[in-house]
Structure 1
Amino acid sequence: MVLKKILLVEDDPHVCAIVKKGLEEENFEIEEANDGEKGYFLAQNTQFDLVILDIMLPKMNGLELCQKIRTNSNVPILLLTALGTAENVAMGLNKGADDYLVKPFKFIELIARINSLLRRSTRTVADTPKLVFRFSVIEINDTSKVVLVNGKEVQLTSTEYKLLLLMVKNPDKVFSRQEILEEVWGINFDLGTNVVDVYVNYLRKKLDRQQCPKIIQTVVGMGYVMRE
């Protein structure tokens, strides 16, 4: 059996030791770094199946490290943070993280998040079709991950891209916030934050800049829908 390889970037030796031991008992192969610079070096030179980053790191913080990794890799990234406010969560996700976990956390929850991210990653690789999706003035090439609005390329974060693709593929379908969490973040429980609303707002602003019609609409008391 080929073990899934995880990069753990955590500067607290106690937390690092506990997490590493627990993950190894779950049959993961763990490589660790205790600062952001070493984490970046390992991420650039080794193929990992998943990266776990603490936000508060010496030499290079986790948010900066996450952003640098994301520039040339789609590896799933899980952020560990002691700062669980909606603003901090949104900031981390906006840097390219796929999920987050607030300290202190239960190990069983960490394993659940890791397995969810790995399933999504495997599914994406296995099922990626060469397809182009269009709605209104939006065109998404899901092979090259290029988004065009009125013929001009729009730069989106990985989370913004997933959210837009979900809605473009399902026009006129009303998605609840919980359904969006499940489809975009792979989380089947309430995050306890307004992260969905934050990302819908991010996406609307980027589309507005390209003179896109207001096609992401709020359905009061229900969620969001994409329609003309």
Structure 2
Amino acid sequence: METREKILIVDDEWNMRNLLKVLLFPHFDTEEAEDGATALALAEKKSYSLIILDLMMPGMDGWEVCEKVREKRQVPILMLTARGDTKDKVEGFSAGADDYLVKPFDSEELVARAKALIRRSQATASHAVEELIEVADLKIDRVERLVYVGDKVIELTPKEFDLIELLATNDKIIFTRDMLMNRIWGIDKERDVRTADTHVKNLREKFRKNELSFNPIRTIWGKGYKFQHSNPEQ
């Protein structure tokens, strides 16, 4: 019997947890947590293909849960919220979320986003082509899905890894925001292309804090982004 991917649903409302279970059951196995502490305990002990995480919960909110999961796990995280403010989305992505869905949501979109997040988080490990990319003091291990500056591992979200890997393996291509959204997020519905900008900003900040010797993501004004092997002035 084929093993199904398992999703952890985290929401303080029983009705929402039950709805998510019903919508996801035809495609995935699910477990649930009614609060952040329970979610963290489960994520510590078990392996999940995706965490669906409510943003507004009493006690430990979704942002804090996301940050704590990211300290130890690189499992994809889909944030759910009743608010669609751009500020909330940016904060969610900064905390380590990979995607964002506003309640009420379309059931088909929920399933599509879940499948896309799981598929893209596993894709690189299934390919053996050019397992290691090295540029100056930057190293991208495509099998282990790890990024190093020198000998130090840089903590990236699955989507951040997908972004730097895509740019580095296609270093001749200028990627528009729409191209990045299609290649990495893969949802052919209306979406906020600023998601790509936020992930680029987060990546650059992590590389800067870890003293990478060059900025690997170059902005091509009016067009998009491409990988660069050294700073323009070098």
Structure-to-structure mapping, 1:210-221, within 5 angstroms: 210=211, 212-221=213-222
Q: Which amino acid aligns with 1:32?
A: E
Q: Is the 8 A contact 2:77 2:99 kept in 1?
A: yes
- CA offset digits 1:116-173 (Å, max 9, x no partner): 122223423423667221335533233451322xx46363422333322222222231
Look up the match of 2:64. Answer: 64
Question: How far has the Cα of 1:52 moved from its partner?
Answer: 0.8
Question: How far has the Cα of 1:112 moved from its partner?
Answer: 0.9
Rate the CA distance shift 1:201–1:120 in 2: closer, same or farther, 3 A. closer
Superposition TM-score, scaled by structure 1 size: 0.84
Question: How far has the Cα of 1:192 moved from its partner?
Answer: 2.1
3-state SS of 1:32 partner = strand
Q: Is the 8 A contact 2:127 2:143 kept in 1?
A: no
Distance 1:211 1:69 in 2: 25
Alignment of 1:198 with 2:193, yes or no, is no
Rate the CA distance shift 1:129–1:67 in 2: closer, same or farther, 3 A. farther
3-state SS of 2:31 partner = strand
Alignment of 1:223 with 2:224, yes or no, is yes
Look up the match of 2:118. Answer: 118
Distance 1:27 1:184 in 2: 21
**Structure 1: runs of 5 or more not aligned:** none
Look up the match of 2:6. Answer: 5
Q: Is the 8 A contact 2:74 2:156 kept in 1?
A: no
Question: How far has the Cα of 1:70 moved from its partner?
Answer: 2.4
Q: Which amino acid aligns with 2:12?
A: D
Mean CA deviation greater in 5-14 or 67-76: 67-76
Question: How far has the Cα of 1:175 moved from its partner?
Answer: 0.3
Question: How far has the Cα of 1:190 moved from its partner?
Answer: 4.6
Give RMSD over aligned pairs: 2.6
Distance 1:73 1:10 in 2: 19
Rate the CA distance shift 1:122–1:13 in 2: closer, same or farther, 3 A. same
Superposition TM-score, scaled by structure 2 size: 0.82
Rate the CA distance shift 1:187–1:94 in 2: closer, same or farther, 3 A. farther
Alignment of 1:182 with 2:179, yes or no, is no
Rate the CA distance shift 1:128–1:52 in 2: closer, same or farther, 3 A. farther
